[in-house]
Structure 1
C-alpha cells in the first residue's frame, strides 16, 4: 500500500509542480511587462511662485537624472496631478530638448517660454518620444501654467503613462508646484 501511494504521488506531483512553475513564470512576466520603473517618486523638489493673473509661468515638472540608464519612451499621456486650481489655469505639458549650449541645463521656474534653454519646445501628444537618463540629447517635461483670474494652482507632480519597448507603465513623478495668481 505504501509503495502504491508513493508511486501515485510521484506520478501526479510532477505535473502539478510544472503547472505551478508555469503560473509563477507567467505571473512574473506579466508583472515585469506592466510595472516598469523609469522615474523617481513624486516630490523631492518644488517651486513656489507668484505672478499677476492672466500671465504665464513655465515649470520643469519632470526631469530624469543624467546618471540613469538611457531609455527611449513613447509617451501615451502626461497629466499634471492638480490639487487646487482656483485661478482657472490652463495647464499644458511640453517636451523640452535641452540645448547643449544653453546657459542652464534644465528649466526650473520662469516667466518666459524657455526658448533659450530648449532647442525644441513642443506640446506633448500621444506618441511623443521622451529620451530619459544619460546621453544626448537631454530632455525634460515642462508645465505651462496660464492663469485666467486670481487664485492658486497646486500641482503634485504628473502622472506619466508610457511604453518602454514591450513594457507599459504609469508612474507618478515630478516636482511640486504652488503658483499664486494675484
Structure 2
C-alpha cells in the first residue's frame, strides 16, 4: 500500500512539471527571435534642409531565416534625440528585382526607383523574412520641422509569427541633421 506522503509528493511533482511546461510554452509563444539586435550599422546625414524628406533603409530582414511571412502589428522608431521636431514614419519597400539593387540605402527622394511597392507600415502589413524573392526592407522617412538633430536607435517591431507574438528592437542607427 502506498503512503500518503508518497502520493502527495507524486502529485506535487506532476503539478510542478505541468506548471513548468505551461510556463515554457507561454515563454516560447511570446518570445520569438526573428531579428538581430539594433545597432549593427550606422548612417549619418550631411545637413539636410528643413521640410525635405530623407529616406534610409534601417531594417533588412534576415536572409538565413526560414522563409515565412510575418504580420506586423506596429513599427515604431526608437528615438534617442529629436531637437528638429521631426516627423518619422516607417515604410515597407519590396525591392524590385529588375533594378539590381540590394536595398534602399539612403536618399532624399522616395525610393520608388528601387521599390516595386512602397507603402507605410500599418497594423497587418506583411513582411517576408528569409532568402528569395520578394526581398523586403523597412525604410524610415525623416522630415524635420526646424533645425536640429534626430538620433534613431533602431525600430521597435511588434509582430505575429504564426501563433507566436513578439516585440524586438532591430535595425541600424541613424543620425540626421537639419539646417
Q: Compute the TM-score of the two structures, normalised by the length of structure 2.
A: 0.95
Gaps of at least 5 residues in structure 2 are none
Task: Kindly indicate whether residue 92 of structure 2 is the aligned counterpart of residue 99 of structure 1.
Answer: no
Q: Deviations over 1:38-81 (max 9, x none)?
A: 10001011100021222111011111232222231111110000
Deviates more, 1:63-72 or 1:88-97: 63-72
Taking the aligned partners of 1:135 and 1:145, their CA distance within structure 2 comes to 29
1:51-90 mapped onto 2 (5 Å cutoff): 51-90=48-87
Question: What is the match of residue 132 of structure 1?
Answer: 129
Compare CA radii of gyration and give the structure with the larger one.
1
What does residue range 13-24 of structure 1 map to in structure 2 within 5 Å? 13-24=9-20
Q: Comparing 118-127 with 56-65, which one deviates more in the overlay?
A: 56-65
1:106-140 Cα deviation digits (max 9, x unpaired): 11111111111110000011111111121211111
* 1:25 corresponds to: 21
Distance 1:106 1:179 in 2: 19
The DSSP-based 3-state class of the residue aligned with 1:40 is coil
Would you say 1:48 and 2:71 are equivalent positions? no
Unaligned runs of 5+ residues in structure 1 are: none
| Equivalent residue number for residue 33 of structure 2 | 37
CA distance in 2, matches of 1:58, 1:104: 15
What does residue 159 of structure 2 align with?
Answer: 162
The secondary structure found in structure 1 opposite 2:97 is coil
Deviating above 3 A after TM superposition, structure 1's stretches of 4 or more consecutive aligned residues are none
1:9 is the counterpart of 2:5: yes
Pairwise CA distance, 1:7: 2.6
CA-based RMSD of the aligned residues comes to 1.3
Give yes or no for the alignment of 1:114 onto 2:111.
yes
